[in-house]
Amino acid sequence: MQTIKSREIPVGELFSNLQLEWISYYLRQNIYNRESDKKMFSDICIKKRERIEMFERRNCMPSIFTNKGKFKKYLYEKFLNPNGLPNFQYTPKTEKLFTLWDSIHYFSVGSLIDFNGKEFTVIKVFPNKKQVEIKLEGESVIVGFEQIKKNIDIIFKDYI
């Protein structure tokens, strides 16, 4: 076990968390609009990747960067949910703030979402209510995050 900020975390769990954190920040880097946010998330990704690669060498454990099967498993089984927001990783200090902004940017106005097997464009986001507005048969309809999904394969195309 390794001690991290006064917590005992098994090595495998720590390594898994680091990889999920990298996926979270990489997605944020690609969905947030402000250049300052993109730069901040990119810088975090670089540092997390260095830490993952160092951890991989030290512990002889394959990572999401050296094993595409592992990347796919982390992305599709641990990070993405069948519907709604993915399992973004948060620290206790940033969870409340980032949860709101992640939902605003993930289901941003103009983005394409899947609802009942059909593709729709988001017209408006209601992050506090966990809902979006779409046009369905000429009418505006409000649907919950748990009813929609988003295809993000294009964002991770270099890794899967």
> Each residue of 29-52: pLDDT tens digit?
999 999 999 999 999 999 999 999
Who contacts 152 (Cβ-Cβ below 8 Å, separation ≥6)? 27, 80, 86
Range of the domain at 132: 2-149
What's the average model confidence in pLDDT over 62-75? 96
pTM value is: 0.90
* Alpha carbon distance 52, 18 (integer Å): 7
| Residue 156, domain member (yes or no) | no
Three-state SS at 105:
helix
Q: What is the CATH number of the domain that holds 74?
A: 2.30.30.30
Q: Does residue 22 contact residue 64 with C-beta atoms inside 8 Å? A: yes
Reduced DSSP (H G I as helix, E B as strand, rest coil) percent helix, strand, coil of the chain, to 5? 45, 20, 35
Q: How many domains does the chain have?
A: 1
| Residue 160, domain member (yes or no) | no
Q: Does residue 126 contact residue 142 with C-beta atoms inside 8 Å? A: yes
